[in-house]
Each structure stands twice: as structure tokens, then as C-alpha cells.
Amino acid sequence: MERRAYDCAEGCPVESTLQFVSGKWKSVILYRLFQEQVGRYSDFERWLPTISARMLARQLRELVADGLLEKKIYAQVPPKTEYRLTPFGQSLWPVISAMEQWGRGYNLAHAKATSADVPAK
């Protein structure tokens, strides 16, 4: 997939990043690979139970085409395919880590607000 470099108009660094991690699943797939180092298709199905098979295949294909993931196919029966982060994909760790930290803070604050709103019995 051909990605374009933005010409540094205001907001372009964010656009440059989003073209690789936008959507509901790409960041989550990358996050799981930062945790696990390697993943097979069945692992992603287990890790992300609400993603459809079609969407998972599409997101993995796009991440490989963008150079963020490496796909290795083993010549065996049944076939075995593994996905790993490339060095380019690993360079997104600060972005994914920041998203993780923000999400943890949000979830803690949201859980407290939700439990405070529930009347005691």
C-alpha cells in the first residue's frame, strides 16, 4: 500500500502517524505484538474475539504492506504463518505505549465515576 509523506502543513505529523495506526484494530494488533513478540492468525482470533475474520485478514495484510509487520510462512502441512513487528513497526512503541497509559488512566477514572454513580443498596 502506497503511503504518502505529508508536506508539513499544520497537523501533518499526526496525519503521518494516523495513516499507519488508524482504525479500530491496527493499534490493538500492534499492541498485542509488542506484548507477545510473535503472533499467528489463530492467536489474533483468541486475543481479539470481537474482530471478524475478514477484518483481521485485511488489517494484517495492510500492516504487512505498510512495512510494520513481517509475515513468515512455513512450508509445512498444515501451513503455519507468523507475524512479527519489523524495526519500522517497533518504532511505533512510544505511540502505542502512550495510548496504553492514557487508556489505563481513562479506565481508572471512568470506573471510579461509574461506581460512584451507582446507588448503594
The CATH number that applies at residue 95 is 1.10.10.10
Residue 50 covered by a domain: yes
Q: Which residues pair with 85 in a beta bridge?
A: 69
pLDDT of residue 45: 93
| Enclosing domain of residue 32 | 12-117
Residue 103 lies in a domain: yes
pLDDT, mean of residues 107-120: 64
**Residue with cell string 509523506:** 5
Question: Which grid coordinates belong to 16?
Answer: 503521518
Whether 2 is covered by a domain: the verdict is no
Q: Which residue has the higher pLDDT, 105 or 117?
A: 105
Query: Quick check: 85 pLDDT over 90?
Result: yes
Burial of 11 (0-12, 13-18, 19+ CB in 10 A): exposed
- For residue 82, list its beta bridge partners: 40, 72
Domain membership flag for residue 1 = no
pTM above 0.85, yes or no: no
3-state secondary structure of 47: helix
Q: How many domains does the chain have?
A: 1
What amino acid is encoded at 51 in this protein? I
Least Cα distance to 24 among 2, 43, 51, 42 occurs for: 51
